[in-house]
Structure 1
Amino acid sequence: MSVKPFRKIIHVDMDAFFASVEQRDHPALRGKPIAVGHAGARGVVATASYEARKFGVHSAMPSAKARELCPELIFVHSRMKHYQAVSKQVRAIFERYTDIIEPVSIDEAFLDVTDNKIGARTGLEIAKRIKKEIREELGLVASAGVSYNKFLAKIASDYRKPDGLCVIHPDQALDFIDKLPIEAFWGIGPATAKRLHALGITTAPQLRAVSLSRLTELFGKAGLTYYNFVRGIDDRQVTTHRERKSVGCEETFGRDIKGKAIDEALTSVINELAQRVNRRKFKGKRLTLKVRFPDFTTLTRSASGLETLDSVEKITPLAYRLLKNVTLPATGIRLLGLSVSKTEQEIREDYLAKQMTLF
């Protein structure tokens, strides 16, 4: 009886990507605390260098707060097109080893190297080579995690950052998982962690002791994900094509707006969204509203319509209905956004339609 070999999955994460590119391109910035983003009163940090992170500065932090934490912080304007070009150079290095590459974002990706182009027996060998080539050819640093599934590869890449390299072997998986706080689990954010803490669950062994039925009762389909992850199970494939599931747009205002200005802004966002939906020929029936207050509190409201939301006329009534469900502060709002996405039913129907084409 033959034993099915384990997959070899690598997760590569570029360390402080935007900031590292700026420090590479501008030697005077090396070794200094920098933040990529807008330094203005309403600015937000996109990425912080590790020198800045020592002071508590992190991405998505208001620039004013970052400056309080690190008075010597140097702000650098974002150069997104340049970062995208560098990201393509990183991907070209990945392609030396495999064509099964799943970008997660501009600065991280999963690679399936089970059957690789150089005949390497281990994922570790390839991860070492990738890190070396990124450093020598691009002057940048990456962290890499190697394991038999995506969940564990991702955890491994985060484990020893920056410039990390970690392998989680199948025989070591449960021991490794048991050392983690539940916050380290993919998909468990602050809100879910708070709910778990309220139930007395703070560690992986405690989470593993909860039955599947109880987890699904508490968290819906995410409960099954947590149940599997805490057991080292993740059957998701590394996919080279990711189907678009939503189209959205948002606007951050130069100053807080209120009253009639909010209606005008919503009309503008609706028009932009309708154009994007039609340009991408996207079909979806679920609308999500995003509102951010001056204190950075962010709320979302969602609802599904009966028709595909592909025009101003169809989006407008649903958007205003969602806005009425938000209690707006007297101080106004700083951001307004809308997105159209597929409902669970639409996703299932698309999947079934694709399966039928196989027969």
Structure 2
Amino acid sequence: MFVSDSAAVRRPRIQSRAEATILHADLDSFYASVEQRDQRWLRGKPVLVGGGVVLAASYEAKAFGVRTPMNVGQALRLCPHAVVVPPRMSAYAAASEAVFAVFHDTTPLVEGISIDEAFLDVGGLRRISGEPVEIAHRLRAEIATKVGLPISVGIAGTKFLAKVASADAKPDGLRLVEPGRELDFLHPLPVQRLWGVGKVTAAALHANGITRIGQLAELGEPHLRAILGPAAARHLFALAWARDPRRVETGRRRRSIGAQRALGRRGRAPEEIAAYLDGLTDRLGRRLRAADRSCRTVVLRLRFDDFSRATRSHTLLEATDATASIRHAARLLLDTAQPLVTERGLTLIGLSLTNLDDAGPRQLTLPLEPRAENTLDATLDDLRRRFGSTAVTRAALLKTGEGLSVPLLPD
């Protein structure tokens, strides 16, 4: 175990603000809460949303150890009396839209993180709306009244601390990290609460006797660098001392979009896997064009039967929003990974598009052909927009469908 160079040396308590004016608002067990709101008989009961995999679990189910994304069969062994309901993505998208309307009515400074959580900066609203704690209480009450959902809110001087505080407040609570007492709140917590500490990093820290954030803070960055490397050490050491100067940003567009499909543990023929990949490609191409974006890099993500994972990526010569170009790159990646799939079996396939850019005017390449407007992609997009995403689908997906399409924040 490493120890600090000097126990007497104390770092100053550095924070980005002298006041706690950043809110992190996070809906509680979002999908499950929507189901309990819309179906009264589910209230107070353990609810699992999903099919083969648990997409969300109510707190009544979590009390039995159910977690996401656990297999539903495993979840039912832990909680045999749980009620399994199929997901209703359109209902969740509508609920998210209503919640974000309340966020934007509260403050113009809203940074959406996902469809069920956001950061809000209320630092300039004291004369209009009162103290941050008062604003947070009203926010929770409005969402409960107008949308009918429970939400937890953390209040702090930094985004990181606000997010940790909202997790501490769950379920359906509010937690203020008072200025000057940030480290009193943060240091007793387990190191897993730091952004960037997953299973591997936590295991490395635990092997050196570091289980709490306070121990990591006292260790010193040089010793931490020897355990985790320079980048991770710098990042985690700063967070351990409550240093997070990031502001709440509005209007920032996402840097990637992705979709995935769980396949279960049954063996799949290569052509069946390829069909699922084509379905993901169609979905992402549609989202890309709807957001008026283009991509340069296609990333294939695989999870095998032994729970190991693999990632393959391909960067295109020029940005595109054409489904055919994206599909060609994705198929090349799958063909390259096929020996691994055959050897280990495949339980999940995912596709991401990164290096996104606006699909506006761009430098043309030979033979200097402009972007066509009347394309097959545009026609299919229009049909699916008017008649639903399943109005036109690939023949290979007629029996299985495209799979679940998780709602996203508007880009």
TM range (shorter): 0.7 to 0.9
Give the superposition deviation at 1:150.
0.5
Structure 2 alignment gaps of length 5 or more: 1-15, 358-411
Q: Give the partner amino acid of 1:292.
A: R
Match of 1:153 among 145, 156, 162: 162
Q: Does 1:6 align with 2:19?
A: yes
2:253 to 243, 251, 262: 243
1:29 counterpart = 2:42 = yes
Please give the alpha-carbon distance, in whole angstroms, between the structure 1 residues aligned to 2:132 and 2:18.
13
SS in 1 for 2:120: strand
Structure 2 residue identity aligned to 1:133: E
**Structure 1 residues 88, 266: closer, same or farther in 2, change over 3 A?**
closer
For 1:185-241, what per-residue CA distance to the aligned partner results, in whole angstroms no more than 9, with x for missing partners?
Answer: 122122221222233322212222231685398345443321211111111111122
Instruction: Give deviations 1:98-142, integer Å, cap 9, x for gaps.
Output: 111111111111100001286244211111111122223333211
Residue 32 of structure 1 deviates from its aligned partner by 0.8
**In structure 2, C-alpha distance between the alignment counterparts of 1:88 and 1:194, rounded to whole Å:** 39
Determine the C-alpha separation between the residues in 1 that align with 2:223 and 2:150.
43
In structure 2, distance between residues paired with 1:188 and 1:4? 25
Alignment-derived partner of residue 233 in structure 1: 243
Give % identity: 36
Q: 1:292–1:335: 8 Å Cα contact kept in structure 2?
A: yes
Looking at structure 2, the residues matched to 108 and 133 of structure 1 have their Cα atoms a distance apart, in angstroms, of 15
Q: Following TM superposition, by how much is the alpha carbon of 1:252 offset from its aligned partner in structure 2, in angstroms?
A: 3.7
Task: Please state if 1:58 is matched with 2:67.
Answer: yes
Return the alpha-carbon distance in structure 2 between the equivalents of residues 83 and 267 of structure 1: 25
The amino acid that maps onto 1:10 is L
CA distance in structure 1 between the aligned counterparts of 2:350 and 2:94, rounded to whole angstroms: 28
**1:93 corresponds to:** 102
Q: For the Cα contact (< 8 Å) 1:256–1:331, is it kept in 2?
A: no
Equivalent residue, structure 2, for 1:107: 116
- Counterpart of 1:164? 173
Deviation at 1:294, TM superposition (A): 3.9
Give the counterpart letter for 2:355 in structure 1.
K
* Cα 1:308/1:182, change in 2 over 3 Å: farther
Secondary structure of the corresponding residue to residue 186 of structure 1: coil
RMSD value over aligned CA atoms? Answer: 3.1
Query: Residue deviations 1:76-117, cap 9 Å, x none?
Result: 121111122122222222233211111111111110000128
Is 1:335 aligned to residue 335 of structure 2?
no
Match among 266, 273, 288 for residue 299 of structure 2? 288
Question: For 1:171, what is the secondary structure of its paired residue?
Answer: coil
Secondary structure at the counterpart of residue 318 of structure 2: coil
Structure 1 alignment gaps of length 5 or more: 347-359
Work out whether 1:47 is the aligned partner of 2:60.
no
| Residue in structure 1 matched with residue 134 of structure 2 by the alignment | 125
Choose between structure 1 and 2 for higher RCO, CA contacts under 8 A separated by at least 6 residues: 2
Matches for 1:240-319 after TM superposition, within 5 Å: 240-253=250-263, 255-259=266-270, 261-262=272-273, 265-266=276-277, 277=288, 280=291, 282-294=293-305, 297-303=307-313, 305=315, 307-308=317-318, 310=320, 312=324, 316=328
- TM-score, length basis structure 1: 0.82
Distance 1:279 1:138 in 2: 27
1:197 aligns with 2:206: yes
| Distance change >3 Å, CA 12–CA 278, structure 1 → 2 | closer
Cα gap change, 1:86 to 1:251, in 2 (>3 Å): closer
Change (3 A) 1:316 1:128: same
Q: Which residue of 2 aligns with 1:223?
A: 233
The 8 Å contact of residues 153 and 175 in structure 2, kept in 1 or not, is answered as yes
Q: SS where residue 109 of structure 1 aligns?
A: strand
Looking at structure 1, the residues matched to 262 and 17 of structure 2 have their Cα atoms a distance apart, in angstroms, of 51
